[in-house]
């Protein structure tokens, strides 16, 4: 029986590795943090609105955590739901491309806000459901292997596709080149949607599950009660603190991309360099954090925070000295913060799947992420206002400062976290 289970799990792991790698490639080629930021700056969208798109996405994710977590926990056909999420993401990215190429600036701004909000809902819904799906279908070591394999393979595909797109579109204007990169990501989302349907779900699709609550007021009440119930558990309180502390560090990628887009959005190589650096970050993050996580979670958290802190300090200083015009400076910065942020996200996700009881996975991750999301909504709105009223470089300085503080907090607090 163990041999059969092992055989089924190996097949499931192989299929999921392919599917998640496709999804990772899609997010690399159509990343809201990198590519959508470049598109927004290229069409002349106000800096405040570009930065506020981060808040819009986080708000959508928070509302999903509050209003949809019960429905997610009771989804009967999880494969179909995951597939539909990928298709919704593809449609949203497609709408942004159409608006960029054929719409006015006002129309494009409205489409961006609506699509980013919808992407936030679909992405969070998919993330919560996938957490439960993986925990049911893969053992601990397989989940860890999948987590870092998808980063490496997806990043490799992203580098290859970005280079091919660059070589084939040399004669096109920057905006058209940016749009083609997103179109490749849309195709990868569609393939990912088909691939997940081939995976075998160990949980029976016809299992009797109670219907989800439909009343918004009751959902809010249930969410509040779930928060109270979860906060009584010591493991959950520790996880919430760590998640909230790292919120500002996770915001590094979109704001580093914003300052890069402001400097290089009119160049023919700007977006290609950023996408390549972003993809390379995933390639390096996979084996690097996969190895270090086996040594110490605390080591990963401290290292990631310090990477963002030092990188942000150096980049902001170069901008203050007006030495930021070399494209390689921003490409290196995007690479470093991508490696760091992926390490943080990965260690938090892997740790949660290890400690969360089966019946509390979706509820627990939804509540925990909502705390982090609320922090990121406030911080991203603040940083967007600073970037608009002053300069984006001050937002980078703030992120660097908070990252150093986070490294210090992690050093002392994560002793208990590791236990």
pLDDT in tens, the chain (419 residues): 344 446 777 888 888 888 989 998 998 888 888 888 888 888 888 888 888 888 888 889 888 877 777 778 778 888 899 999 999 999 999 999 999 888 888 888 899 999 999 999 999 899 888 888 887 777 777 887 887 788 788 888 888 888 888 888 877 887 788 788 889 999 999 999 999 998 887 765 545 455 555 566 777 777 778 788 788 877 788 788 888 888 888 888 888 988 888 887 667 677 788 888 888 888 888 788 878 877 777 888 899 999 999 999 999 899 888 877 778 888 999 999 999 998 888 888 777 777 777 767 767 777 787 777 788 888 888 888 888 777 888 989 999 999 999 888 888 765 555 55
Token pair of 313 as six digits = 């300090």
Q: Who contacts 55 (Cβ-Cβ below 8 Å, separation ≥6)?
A: 376, 377, 380, 381, 384
Residue 169 lies in a domain: yes
Residue 266 lies in a domain: yes
What count of other Cβ atoms lies within 10 Å of the Cβ of residue 217?
8
Residue 386 lies in a domain: yes
277 and 405 Cβ atoms separated by less than 8 Å:
no
Q: Which domain holds residue 188?
A: 2-201+217-418
- pTM as predicted: 0.80
102 and 94 Cβ atoms separated by less than 8 Å:
no
Residue 207 lies in a domain: no
Closest CA to 149 of 252, 25, 238: 25
What count of other Cβ atoms lies within 10 Å of the Cβ of residue 233?
15
Residue 246 lies in a domain: yes
d(CA 258, CA 338): 14
Q: Who contacts 266 (Cβ-Cβ below 8 Å, separation ≥6)?
A: 42, 174
Residue 206 lies in a domain: no
d(CA 11, CA 9): 5
Exposure of 163 in the CB half-sphere (CA atoms within 13 A): 10
* CATH number, residue 309: 1.20.1250.20
3-state secondary structure of 396: helix
Number of domains in the chain: 1
3-state secondary structure of 215: coil
Token pair of 133 as six digits = 């799906």
d(CA 328, CA 66): 41
Residue 344 lies in a domain: yes
Closest CA to 161 of 139, 135, 134, 188: 188
d(CA 111, CA 45): 12
Residue 338 lies in a domain: yes
Q: Who contacts 71 (Cβ-Cβ below 8 Å, separation ≥6)?
A: 212
d(CA 89, CA 91): 5
SS (H, E, C) 242-281: HHHHCHHHHCHHHHHHHHHHHHHCCCCCHHHHHHHHHHHH
């Amino acid at each position: 029986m163990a041999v059969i289970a092992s055989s089924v799990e190996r097949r499931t792991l192989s299929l999921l590795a392919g599917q998640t790698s496709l999804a990772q490639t899609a997010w690399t080629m159509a990343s809201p943090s990198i590519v959508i930021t470049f598109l927004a700056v290229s069409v002349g969208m106000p800096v405040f609105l570009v930065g506020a798109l981060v808040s819009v996405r986080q708000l959508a994710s928070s509302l999903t955590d509050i209003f949809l977590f019960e429905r997610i926990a009771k989804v009967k056909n999880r494969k179909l739901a995951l597939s539909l999420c990928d298709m919704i993401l593809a449609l949203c990215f497609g709408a942004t491309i159409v608006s960029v190429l054929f719409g006015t600036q006002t129309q494009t701004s409205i489409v961006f806000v609506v699509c980013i909000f919808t992407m936030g809902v679909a992405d969070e819904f998919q993330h919560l459901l996938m957490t439960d799906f993986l925990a049911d279908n893969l053992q601990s070591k397989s989940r860890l292997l999948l987590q870092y394999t998808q980063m490496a393979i997806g990043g490799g595909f992203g580098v290859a596709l970005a280079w091919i797109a660059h070589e084939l579109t040399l004669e096109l204007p920057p905006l058209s080149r940016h749009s083609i990169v997103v179109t490749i990501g849309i195709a990868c989302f569609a393939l990912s949607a088909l691939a997940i349907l081939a995976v075998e779900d160990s949980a029976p699709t016809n299992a009797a599950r109670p219907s989800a609550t439909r009343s918004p007021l009751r959902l809010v009440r249930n969410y509040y009660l779930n928060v109270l119930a979860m906060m009584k558990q010591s493991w959950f309180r520790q996880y919430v603190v760590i998640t909230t502390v790292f919120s500002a560090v996770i915001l590094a990628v979109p704001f580093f991309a914003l300052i890069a887009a402001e400097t290089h959005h009119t160049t023919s190589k700007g977006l290609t360099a950023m996408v390549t650096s972003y993809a390379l970050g995933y390639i390096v993050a996979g084996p690097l954090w996969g190895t270090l996580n086996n040594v110490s979670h605390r080591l990963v958290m401290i290292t990631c925070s310090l990477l963002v802190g030092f990188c942000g300090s150096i980049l902001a200083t170069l901008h203050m000295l007006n030495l930021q015009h070399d494209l390689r400076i921003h490409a290196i910065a995007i690479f470093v913060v991508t490696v760091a942020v992926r390490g943080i996200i990965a260690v938090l996700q892997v740790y949660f799947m290890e400690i969360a009881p089966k019946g509390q996975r979706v509820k627990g991750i939804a509540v925990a992420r909502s705390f982090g999301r609320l922090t990121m909504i406030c911080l991203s709105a603040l940083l967007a206002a600073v970037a608009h009223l002053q300069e984006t470089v001050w937002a980078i300085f703030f992120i660097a400062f908070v990252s150093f503080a986070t490294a210090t907090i992690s050093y002392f607090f994560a002793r208990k976290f590791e236990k």
